[in-house]
Amino acid sequence: MPASPVSFESIASLSSRLRSGATSPSKVAQALLDRIDHLDDKLHSFIRVMPDHALARAQAAEKSAKAGGKAGLLNGIPYAAKDLFDVKGQPTTAGTHLLADNIARLDSTVVGKLDAAGMVLLGKTHTVQFAYGAAGINHDQGTPHNPWHKVPHNPGGSSSGSAVAVASGLVPFALGTDTGGSVRVPAAMCGIVGLKTTVGRVSRAGVYPLCWTLDSVGPITRSVEDAALVFQAMQGPDAEDASTAGIDPIDTLKKLKAGVKGLRIAFAETVFFDDLDPEVEKAVRETGKVFSALGARVSSMAVPEAAAAWAEKNRGLLIPAEACVWNGRFLDKHMAELDPVIGPRMLGGRNLSAPDYFLLLKRYAELREQLEQTLGDIDVLITPTTMIPPKPLTEIEASYLEHNTLYHRNSGIGNILNLCAVSLPCGFTSGGLPVSLQVYAKPFREDMALRVAYAYEQATAWHTRHPDLAALR
C-alpha cells in the first residue's frame, strides 16, 4: 500500500490543511484506518482499533470546525493511546490477558483533554506487560515489529506499540508513559521523538500505574514541534492527581524556535557515556558540532548525582515494590499466566523493607537537590538515549536482563532525578538502525528541552527518514 498524503505528515501541516478545508477529519481518519488495516497485521502496533469511535469523533470535529470557527490546532488530528490509558467503555489491559475485562468507566484525564481539543482517537496500542520493561517484549499479547528491519528487532518499551505506530505512519502522535524510559526508549528504537515530562506536569489519573513515584505521561511524535503542540494540550493541574497540584501550564511554543545561540549545553560524562556501542557514541558526540555551529556554548561536565543515583543498592527494587501494590493479586494467584520476564522481576519488589523504601526516597530527594546546584547555569545536558541500538529479538531473548539494562540505564537515571527530556534521532548505524540523543533539562523546563531539540532537528535531516515498510510485506 503506497503512503497516503497523511501517512508521514506533521501535525502542524495536517492541522493547516484541515483548517483550510483542503481535507476533513473524516477523510484523514479513514485514510489512516485503511493504512492500519493494511499494515498492522505485520507491525502489530495496535491491540485494538476503534473505527466506529474514531469516525464519530472525526464527525464531531467537523461539526466543531463549522460551528463558529472555534476549533483549535489539534481539532481533527488522529492519535493512538497506549493500553494503559482508560478510554470509556474500552478495556485497559496493561499488556496482559488477565485484564481483558477491565472496562473503563471514564476517560483518563489526558484522553479527556485531547478529546476536548478535538483530537480523534483511532485505537489503543500494545505495551510491555504492566509497562515493566525497556526492551519492548511482550510474551502474552505479542511484541510489535520495529519497522526499521525486516527481521524482528526490538521496538523498545514499554510504549512499544505507540512508537511503532508513529514511526510507521499509522498515526502522527501516540500517548506513552515513562517510568524508566518508556517514552524515550521506544522513540529512540524507532527513530522518532519522545518527550519525558516532569512528574506533576501531566495528570496520570486514569492511567494504569507502575510506580507512582516515577510514572510520567508524554507524547511520542515524528517531530519536536508536534511533541510541543500536543504537550501544550496535555498539561495542567488535575484534582485527581495530587502530584499536579499548584503546577501551572507552561508555554512550550513561545520560544520553541528561538534557537540555541548563547545557551549552555553540556555533555553529561558521568555514567551516561560508559560502555556504549561505538556507533551510538560517535553519532551522539557529533551533535556537539551542530550545537556549536548554531551558536551554543558546548562543554562537557561531570554529573556525580547520576552515578550516585545508579549506584544506590536498592535502586532496582523501587519500581517493582510499588508495582506489587497494584499487581499483587496477579503475583499471588496467576504467576504462571504472567509474562515470564515480568512476573519474577516484579515479585522481587517485596524484598524491599519499609525502612529501606523510605530511605531510598529520601536519598533520591537529596540527589535531586544536589543536582540543581551541580547544573547551575547549564541549560541542558546531552547524552545518548540508549547504550545500544535495536537488536534482533532472538539476541535479546538469550540475555533479557542484560539487554533490558542496556536500554534503560541512561533514561532511568533521569526518572530518578526527576529531569524532563526529549529523545530525538541523531543518526543511523551501518546496518540502517536509528540512533538517538537525549536532551535533559531541569525539572519543569520542558520548554527548554524542546527548544534545544527543535534547533538540532531543524539543522539536520535525520527526522526526515522513514522506514521502508514495503520490505516488511
Structure-block grid coordinates of residue 124: 489503543
Q: What pLDDT is attached to residue 7? A: 83
The reply to whether omega before 158 is within 30° of 0 (cis) is: yes
182 has catalytic annotation: yes
Q: Is residue 3 part of a domain?
A: no
H or E element, residue 56: helix 51-66
Q: pLDDT confidence of 67, banded at 50, 70, 90?
A: confident
Q: Is residue 341 part of a domain?
A: yes
Q: Is residue 2 part of a domain?
A: no
List the 193-196 sheet strands across, edge first. Answer: 46-49, 120-125, 78-82, 173-178, 216-221, 193-196, 420-428, 434-441, 380-384, 264-268, 297-301
pLDDT tens for residues 160-213?
Answer: 999 999 999 999 999 999 999 999 999 999 999 999 999 999 999 999 999 999
Q: Is residue 68 part of a domain?
A: yes
Q: Is residue 285 part of a domain?
A: yes
Instruction: In whole angstroms, give the CA distance from residue 171 to residue 317.
Output: 35
Give the mean model confidence (pLDDT) for residues 71-81: 94
Catalytic residue among 64, 82, 108, 162: 82
Of 332, 330, 329, 322, nearest to 352 (Cα)? 322
158 has catalytic annotation: yes
* First and final C-alpha spacing in the chain: 10
pLDDT tens for residues 265-302?
Answer: 999 999 999 999 999 999 999 999 999 999 999 999 99
- Where are the alpha helices (H) located in 117-204, listed in sequence order? 160-167, 184-189
196 has catalytic annotation: no
Task: Supply the range of the domain harboring residue 313.
Answer: 11-472
Q: How many domains does the chain have?
A: 1
Q: What pLDDT is attached to residue 68? A: 62
Instruction: In whole angstroms, give the CA distance from residue 132 to residue 134.
Output: 7
Q: Is residue 431 part of a domain?
A: yes
Give the mean model confidence (pLDDT) for residues 64-73: 76
* Strands 46-49, 216-221: pairing kind: unpaired
State which amino acid sits at residue 135: A
SS3 content of the chain, % helix, strand, coil (to 5): 45, 15, 40
pLDDT tens for residues 229-252?
Answer: 999 999 999 999 999 999 999 999
Q: pLDDT confidence of 69, banded at 50, 70, 90?
A: low
Catalytic residue among 26, 45, 182, 203: 182
Is pLDDT above 80 for 2?
no
Instruction: In whole angstroms, give the CA distance from residue 219 to residue 227.
Output: 6
CATH value at residue 417: 3.90.1300.10
Instruction: In whole angstroms, give the CA distance from residue 32 to residue 262.
Output: 42
Catalytic residue among 7, 26, 45, 158: 158
Q: Is residue 5 part of a domain?
A: no
Q: Is residue 4 part of a domain?
A: no
Confirm if 448 and 379 have CB atoms less than 8 A apart: yes
